[in-house]
Amino acid sequence: MTGDPRRSVPRTDAVLAEPPVAAAAARLGRELVKSAVQAAQQRVRDGDLPPGDVVAAVLGALPGTASSLRPVLNATGVLVHTNLGRAPLSPAAVDAVAAASGTTDVELDLRTGRRGPRGEGALSALLDAVPAAEAALVVNNCAAALALVATALGGELVIARGELVEIGDGFRIPDLLVSTGARLREVGTTNRVSLADYTDALGPGTGAVLKVHPSNFVVRGFTRAVEVDELAPALAGTGVPLVADVGSGLLRPHPLLPGEPDLQTTLAAGADLALCSGDKLLGGPQAGIVLGRAELVQRLRRHPLYRALRVDKTTLAALEATLRGPVPPVRQMLDADLGGLRSRATAVAEALRVAGVRAAVVGSTARVGGGGAPEFPLPSVAVALDVRFAEPLRLGPVPVVGYVDEDRTLLDLRSLAPDDDRALTAAVLEVARRWT
Ligand SMILES: *Cc1c(COP(=O)(O)O)cnc(C)c1O
């Protein structure tokens, strides 16, 4: 470059007026594009960028959307990964979110022109999916559902010591319950609790008996728990509601996940309320779902705190489409058969080898994850690469998150939608290309 580079720095207005840059500003917002222009101008001043390349540099630096959240390929083998946004929405749910994003009839009855019940479609989809429930309510997440139950039913909550669970990242269910002003009446010991422990603890101040599924650990050996079908008859006639937090949101029992409670069985066994997350094994948006007896659900709905916890139109749309639409991705991943995973991995490894990248197909172990289901190992298949791939794959234009096992980077295919295999292959090839 000749002369003073500062003289030849293209003016901000001129760059912003270039048609592709103006189009990007209309899509992403002027301020976001302007900061990309300023960054490119600085590179010209530093002598890093020829002035004629400013427009191309700006366009190349712009994000795909006006949000900094980016799509990531989940090759961790953890199906419901909290750090990766838990359940990916089904295409049907994504469409429903887009359709409901503008003005929508979430709380208006278009026939009468008057206010209607909020999110009725999602609620009736829940009731159709779980026939044992009389009524449904949707709040922000399962923690919100617990907070609402503890606040509205209040008083003393009877809970087994072995069910005082920490879900993850320091989130402890007993702390949440106590923060509402409810008192905990802990019964039994860490490993054992009996029916009499529960019934002896009941008194005039009892607000509810709470069962919390210990989602992320198991206690083995000399243990005893009291299940819903044993507790419910003992509580019948006492007027004390039995509330079960089942966590993961299975609608029905799943053959691969024995011991994982589901909503239909829990309510049919006599729980008065069952709570779960929307974005774990249910495969939908972040939400807390409350199902059960109409009178109790109505009490929660009428409590002032509900207003602070209720969900927006896009969540209701995504939840309804998850329940009514095609099988959501998380369920497809859970049900994917090993042979299919192996042929996908073989195809990916073959495409990499053809391009000169060393890749092997290996057996691996996937997990449900998300703190929402026990750590059941799910047999899976991974593509094994040199360990040095892990970081550049994470930092690439389409970030891929795998995991490092000893001296290899493993890309597990069970947590990845089959449609993403091509993008996964391309991302690995892109890293390899930069190395050669
Ligand atoms: C995951 C989990 C929660 C918390 O659910 P969020 O939807 O993340 O608030 C509560 N209880 C149990 C048993 C869980 O597994």
Q: Which residues line ligand 1 (CB under 6 A)?
A: 141-143, 167, 212-213, 215, 245, 247-248, 277, 288, 371-372
Pocket test residue of 82, 212, 215 for ligand 1, highest count of atoms within 8 A of CB: 215
**Nearest Cα residue to atom 6 of ligand 1:** 142
- Predicted pLDDT of residue 1: 46
Orientation angle between helical segments 313-324 and 91-100, nearest 10 degrees: 150
Are the beta carbons of 372 and 391 closer than 8 angstroms?
no
For ligand 1, the distance from its centroid to the CA atom of residue 391, given in whole angstroms, is 30
Report the residue among 165, 277, 286 best suited for mutation to probe ligand 1: largest number of ligand atoms under 8 A from its CB. 277
pLDDT digits (tens, 9 = 90+) for 308-340: 999 999 999 999 999 999 999 999 999 999 999
Structural domains of the chain, with CATH: 5-61 (no CATH), 73-83+332-435 (3.90.1150.180), 90-327 (3.40.640.10)
**Residues facing 73 on adjacent strands:** 400
Atom of ligand 1 nearest to the CA of 216: 15
Handedness of CA 190, 196, 198, 200 (dihedral sign): negative
62 pLDDT higher than 80: yes
Choose which residue among 142, 148, 260, 276 to substitute to test ligand 1 binding: the one with the highest number of ligand atoms within 8 A of its C-beta.
Answer: 142
Protein residue closest via CA to atom 12 of ligand 1: 247
What is the C-alpha end-to-end distance of the chain, expressed in Å? 29
CB atoms within 10 A of CB 386: 15
Structure tokens given for 305: 């705190």
Residue in the block written with tokens 């929508």: 104
The answer on pLDDT for 120 being more than 80 is yes
Q: Could you say which DSSP state residue 11 is in? A: P
CA 215 to centroid of ligand 1, rounded, Å:
8
Q: What is the pLDDT of residue 218?
A: 83
pTM summary value: 0.94
Model confidence band, residue 430 (pLDDT cutoffs 50, 70, 90): very high
pLDDT, position 154: 82
Task: Say if residue 7's pLDDT is above 90.
Answer: no
Read off the pLDDT of residues 121-150 as tens digits, 9 standing for 90 and up.
999 999 999 999 999 999 999 999 999 999
> Kind and range of the H or E element at 291?
strand 288-292
Distance CA 142, CA 96 (A): 22
Cα(283)–Cα(249) distance, rounded to whole angstroms? 8
Assign 105 to helix, strand or coil: coil
Q: For 28-44, how does the pLDDT look when each residue is reduced to its tens digit (9 = 90+)? A: 999 999 999 999 999 99
Q: What is the mean pLDDT of the chain?
A: 95
Ligand 1, closest atom to CA 86?
A: 8
- 69: left (phi > 0), else alpha (psi -120 to 50), else beta? beta
DSSP string, 328-369: PHHHHHHH--HHHHHHHHHHHHHHHHHTT---EEEEEEEE--
Give the gyration radius of the chain's Cα atoms.
Answer: 26
Q: Helix, strand, or coil here: 408?
A: strand
Distance CA 201, CA 206 (A): 8
| Amino acid, single-letter form, for residue 72 | V
Q: How far does residue 372's CA lie from ligand 1's centre (Å)?
A: 6
Q: Which of 60-64, 169-173, 240-244 has the highest mean pLDDT?
A: 240-244
* pLDDT tens-digit series, residues 268-294: 999 999 999 999 999 999 999 999 999
Nearest in space to 10 (alpha carbons), one of 68, 64, 74, 57: 57
Calpha distance 66→33 (Å, rounded)? 10
Phi, psi of 17 (to 5 degrees): -85, -15
How many angstroms separate the CA atoms of 394 and 386, rounded? 14
Quick one: which H or E segment has residue 430? helix 421-435
Q: Tokens 């030849």 map to which residue?
A: 8
| Among candidate residues 141, 137, 212, 207, the one with its CA nearest the CA of residue 173 | 212
Q: Could you give the residue ranges of the DSSP H alpha helices within 194-274?
A: 195-201, 228-235, 263-268
- By C-alpha distance, which of 6, 8, 26 is closest to 16? 26
Strands, sheet with 377-386, edge to edge from the N-terminal-most edge strand: 360-367, 377-386, 408-412, 403-405
Q: Which residues contact 392 (CB under 8 A, 6 or more apart)?
A: 431, 434
Furthest CA-CA distance within the chain: 91
